[in-house]
Amino acid sequence: MRTPTTRRRALAWSTAAAAGLLAGCSDGSGPAGSAGTETGPTARKAAVRLRESSARTSLDLLAHYDALLKRHPAQGARLKPLRTQVARHAEVLRGEGRRVAGRPPVSVAADPRAAVQELAAAEQRASDAHLAALGGATPELARLLASVAAAAAAHAYLLTDGAEG
């Protein structure tokens, strides 16, 4: 028999997991984001590009949260904790002193439920993108991407199935 997961329990779990995983990973201040791994210039450039791409994914997701909250401010209590986590993910992926260009503004559905469902789909796409990037990542960056992907998947769950708890 499966124990039902409440939204609060799932949110608490995902917050604790994301915080713990992000705390365990450094910000990868080195160019490759990989402590103790020797890499050549080509590998370092590839790691920087991968990190920038992953940061853009999180920044795009953050823009989606901002657009939804602007159009549907009543969703703030539910979405702001998740938005805060996404902002932290983007910050860590971007790295200190690095700039990553964002994307054009996001359009949001007029119906709040449809808008939240669109956001859940965006969270799932972000999770999938971070997971897809694991193959080309250095070990430390792979750990970071895996934790960010897990958090995005948890957010998608909370915005869909978990919302019923």
Q: The domain that contains 156 carries what CATH number? A: 1.20.1260
Q: How many distinct structural domains can be found in the chain?
A: 1
Largest CA distance in the chain: 53
pLDDT for residue 30: 44
Q: Look at residue 80 in the predicted model and tell me its pLDDT.
A: 97
What's residue 44's pLDDT? 81
Handedness of CA 10, 33, 61, 98 (dihedral sign): positive
- Residue 50 within any structural domain of the chain: yes
Dist CA 78 CA 92 (whole Å): 23
Q: Backbone phi, then psi, for 142, in 5-degree steps?
A: -60, -40
Tell me whether residue 24 is in a domain: no
Q: State the pLDDT at residue 9.
A: 55
CA pair distance 14, 137, nearest whole angstrom: 23
**Tokens found for residue 64:** 């989606």
| pTM higher than 0.85 | no
155 occurs within a structural domain: yes
**Would 33 be classed as within a structural domain?**
no
Enclosing domain of residue 131: 7-19+41-164
Quote the CA–CA distance of 75 and 77 in Å, as a whole number.
6
Residue 27 lies in a domain: no
Asked if the structure places residue 110 within a domain, the reply is: yes
The pLDDT, as a whole number, for residue 36 is: 43
Q: How far is CA 118 from the centre of its chain?
A: 15
Instruction: Evaluate whether residue 160 is within a structural domain.
Output: yes
**Pairwise CA distance, residues 124 & 118, whole Å:** 10
Q: Are 127 and 160 in contact (CB under 8 A)?
A: no
Residues 158, 10: contact at Cβ < 8 Å? yes
Distance CA 76, CA 72 (A): 8
Whether 34 maps to a domain, the answer reads no
Residue 105: the pLDDT is 82
pLDDT by position in tens, the chain (length 165): 444 555 555 555 555 455 444 444 444 444 444 444 546 788 788 888 899 999 999 999 999 999 999 999 999 999 999 999 999 999 999 886 677 666 678 899 999 999 999 999 999 999 999 999 999 898 989 999 999 999 999 999 999 976 554
| Residue 46 near residue 90, CB atoms below 8 Å | no
pLDDT at 104: 74
